[in-house]
Amino acid sequence: MYTPGKIRIAGVVRESFVDGPGIRFVVFCQGCPHRCPGCHNPATHDFDGGYDCEIEKILDAVEKNPMLDGVTFSGGEPLCQPEAFLELAREIRSRFPQLNILIFTGYTYEELQKMWDGRPALKELLDLIDYLIDGRYMQEQRDLTLQFRGSRNQRIIDMNATREEGIVVLSEKYQ
């Protein structure tokens, strides 16, 4: 249940080099319906776990680090809380326009497109981000040589190019 100004999280990492390009602030949301075997963050699966965090507290922490290149929404499944992450993304865009936003999701982009009807926050959130790493983690496709992802089926989608072209465009820079 969405409460304005709050987001359900498992925790944050204030500086990460593995959750997207550059130095990143990472918000790990709580709750995931996918429950992928071999998941790197199984403690984030339970929707009743974690804690409610004020979005302003996250923004204050982002502001304190001038070295950040971007913010990553990971999980759990961030797109199970589209309204809260939309609120956070809007504030990041407004206060820190130099930062890029990346979302890790177990849904494919095509699955998300089918979910847009009746969920305007989901579409608007995807319209605000720079990168989407999509697809469930598949243990049988695990590949530790991949940049920013764990299995070969997962894609790094350049969302700015995707919106411009009207088709999925994979990031040329981060593959």
> Across residues 69-83, what is the average pLDDT?
97
pLDDT at position 34: 94
Main-chain phi, psi angles of 100, to 5 degrees:
-95, 160
Higher pLDDT, 25 or 174: 25
Indicate if the pLDDT at residue 175 is higher than 80: no
| β-pairing verdict for 155-158 and 131-134 | antiparallel
Beta strands in the chain, from DSSP E residues, in sequence order? 6-16, 24-29, 51-54, 70-74, 100-104, 131-134, 155-158
Quick one: DSSP state of residue 40? S
Domains of the chain, CATH where assigned: 6-165 (3.20.20.70)
Q: What digits encode the pLDDT tens for the residues 101-150?
A: 999 999 999 999 999 888 999 999 999 999 999 999 999 999 999 999 99
> Across residues 95-101, what is the average pLDDT?
98
* pTM score, whole prediction: 0.96
- Nearest CA-CA partner of 133 in 156, 106, 113, 101: 156
Looking at the chain, the whole-number percentage of residues with pLDDT higher than 70 is 100
Assess contact for 135 and 155: CB atoms under 8 A.
yes
Q: What digits encode the pLDDT tens for the residues 46-61?
A: 999 999 999 999 999 9
